[in-house]
């Protein structure tokens, strides 16, 4: 399968990162979202992130200019029908993703590969509701996409070898490394990472440490680049809670129960960096712990 044109659904944090790395690797990219503002914002974020890479000599100015020229945007989802590989990076809600695949299907070329950047929804279940479960798989990037080396590739029960190999080829062309994960809740990264973050929230909830001491402990004591609560804010507390619920429901083990304090922050709308407040308050000069 020759992949040259890539469709990206969703221009948020993950979608714009995916479009960014694909365009720099030489793919033609078509990015879609439901709002023109989201598309404009995404182009601006990509330009800023590429400028940062130019200023640090990671890429040349010409690479940036060529990459930005390879990214097209559209408000019409079905325009993506002419691409060879589609990566859905919309809101992490199964009904939303399912509706996107349903709308896309009539417009797709028979050979187009459909993938989802979902961090936790069953690939097999998403695939089963499309017309091409054998050409469907999970293509899971880590945040921030331009920096993180790993991509999880998740095969559903029906995914065929050619589809897997084609996606692996894309990961290699990006200069990233693929980890092959089976289709079980949370795959590999979130199965391990989210219980750690959830445990950090329990540590806070039970008063063992405050936000600062918990984050410092893991940064200085375990060499993590970010503390678990800072990382939770970076990922989004709603996303963390949704993934814990998927682990809890899907694996039916109480060890995955989400911490009530995490639920409370989400109920408050304190979702982390994206809303200006989570375990830290980002509205001032420097982030200040909220506990």
Q: Which residues bind ligand CAA (CB under 6 A)?
A: 49, 52-53, 56, 58, 119, 142-144, 146-148, 189-190, 193, 225-226, 231, 235, 239
Closer of 144 and 269 to ligand CAA (Cβ): 144
CB nearer ligand CAA, residue 197 or residue 204: 197
Q: In whole angstroms, what separates CA 210 from the centre of its chain?
A: 28
Residue closer to ligand CAA, measured from CB, 143 or 217: 143
Is residue 68 within 8 Å of 23, Cβ to Cβ?
Answer: yes
Identified catalytic residue from 119, 120, 122, 198: 119
Strand partners, 85: 6, 113
Residue 144 CB, shortest distance to ligand CAA, in Å, is 4
d(CA 248, CA 207): 24
Clarify whether 51 is annotated catalytic: no
Task: Enumerate the H helices of 27-93 as residue ranges.
Answer: 36-55, 61-69
Half-sphere exposure of 78 (CA within 13 A, CB side): 5
**Catalytic annotation present for 224:** no
- Nearest approach, Cβ of 190 to ligand CAA (angstroms)? 5
Q: Which of 33, 68, 26 is nearest to 50 (CA)?
A: 68
Closer by beta carbon to ligand CAA, 82 or else 248: 248
- Is 198 designated active site? no
Instruction: Kindly name the residue from 20, 152, 198, 230 that is annotated as catalytic.
Output: 152
Smallest separation (angstroms) from ligand CAA to the CB of 77: 23
Among this protein's residues, is 190 annotated catalytic?
A: yes
Active-site hit among 88, 190, 198, 230: 190
Q: Which residues are known binding-site members for NAD(+)?
A: 10-15, 33, 92, 97, 119, 143, 274
Tokens encoding 5: 């044109």
Tokens of 69: 């020229």
> Would you please indicate which residues are annotated as catalytic (active-site) residues?
119, 140, 152, 190
């Amino acid at each position: 399968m020759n992949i040259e044109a890539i469709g990206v659904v969703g221009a948020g944090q993950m979608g714009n990162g995916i479009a960014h790395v694909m365009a720099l690797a030489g793919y033609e990219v078509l990015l879609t979202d439901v709002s023109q503002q989201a598309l404009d914002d995404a182009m601006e974020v990509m330009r800023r992130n590429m400028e940062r890479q130019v200023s640090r000599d990671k890429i040349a100015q010409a690479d940036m200019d060529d990459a930005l020229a390879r990214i097209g945007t559209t408000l019409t989802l079905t325009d993506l029908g002419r691409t060879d590989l589609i990566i859905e990076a919309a809101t992490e809600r199964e009904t939303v993703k399912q509706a996107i695949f349903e709308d896309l299907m009539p417009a797709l070329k028979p050979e187009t590969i459909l993938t989802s950047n979902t961090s936790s929804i069953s690939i097999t279940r998403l695939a089963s509701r499309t017309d091409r479960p054998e050409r469907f798989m999970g293509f899971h990037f880590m945040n921030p996409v331009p920096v993180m080396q790993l991509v999880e590739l998740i095969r559903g029960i029906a995914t065929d070898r050619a589809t897997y190999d084609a996606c692996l080829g894309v990961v290699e062309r990006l200069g990233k490394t693929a980890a092959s994960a089976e289709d079980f809740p949370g795959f590999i990264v979130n199965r391990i990472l989210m219980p750690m973050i959830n445990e950090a929230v329990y540590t806070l909830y039970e008063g063992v440490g405050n936000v600062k001491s918990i984050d410092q402990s893991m940064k200085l004591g375990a060499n993590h680049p970010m503390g678990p609560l800072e990382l939770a804010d970076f990922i989004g507390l709603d996303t963390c809670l949704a993934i814990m619920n998927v682990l809890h429901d899907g694996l039916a083990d109480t060890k995955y129960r989400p911490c009530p304090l995490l639920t409370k922050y989400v109920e408050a709308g304190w979702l982390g960096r994206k809303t200006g407040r989570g375990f830290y308050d980002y509205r001032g000069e420097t982030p200040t712990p909220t506990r």
